Amino acid sequence: MMAHGKWELAHRLILPTLILCFSITYFIEVKALSSQDQLLINPIFWVVLFLYLLVIVQECKQWKQKNETLGDVSATTDINQEKMTLEDAEAITKSEGDARLTKKVFYYMVGIALYLVLVEPLGFVIVTLAFLSVMMRVLGTKSFKVLTTVPITVVLIIYFIFVEALGIPFPVWPS
C-alpha cells in the first residue's frame, strides 16, 4: 500500500517537474540575450520556481494526510466494515477539495508556461490580458465586468510604471 502511495505522489509531481524543467531551459536560453530582453523573463521564472515549490509542499501534505486517513480507515473498517465513520466522510470531502486545488495549481503552471512562450510573439498586452482573464476565471470569478476591467487596469498600470515611468522597454505589442 505504501509503495503504491509513493508512486501516486511521484505521478502527481511529474507534470509540475516537467514544467519547471521547461522553465529552467527557457531561462538558460534567455541568458544569452541582452539584459533588456531578460527584464520580463527573470521575474516570471522566479514565480514559476515559487509555484513549483508550493506544489511540492502541497502535494506532500496531501499525500501524508491521505496515508494517515487510509491508516485510520483500515483500523475503523476492521472494527465495523459496514458503517462509514464521520471522519471517513470528512476525509473524502477534504480530498475532493484538495483535488480541485491541485487542478487550479496545475492550470496556473500551464498558464505561466504558455505566458512565457507567447509573450514575445504576441506581445505583453494581449498575452497578459488573456492570462489574467483566464486565471481569474479559474479562481471562480464569473462577473464579465470584473473579468474585463481588472486585467485592463493591471496591464495599464504595469505599462505606465515600466515603460513610461521607468523607461524599461519590453515587447508590448506583437513583433
Could you identify the residue written with the cell 496515508?
67
Query: What is the domain partition of the chain in residue ranges?
Result: 2-102, 123-175
So what's the pLDDT on residue 97?
58
Contact, 138 vs 147, CB < 8 A?
no
Would you state the cell numbers that stand for residue 8, as one nine-digit string? 501516486
Amino acid symbol at 90: E
Separation of CA 163 from chain center: 27
So what's the pLDDT on residue 159?
87
* Residue of 53 and 81 predicted with greater confidence: 53
Residue closest to 173 by CA, chosen among 111, 129, 132: 129
- Whole-model pTM over 0.95: no
Cα angle 81-87-90, degrees, rounded to a multiple of 5: 120
Tell me the per-residue pLDDT of 105-149, one tens digit each, with 9 for 90 and over: 788 888 888 888 888 888 889 999 999 898 888 878 888 998 899
So what's the pLDDT on residue 74?
52
Tell me the per-residue pLDDT of 1-52, one tens digit each, with 9 for 90 and over: 444 556 777 777 787 788 888 878 887 877 777 777 676 677 777 777 777 7
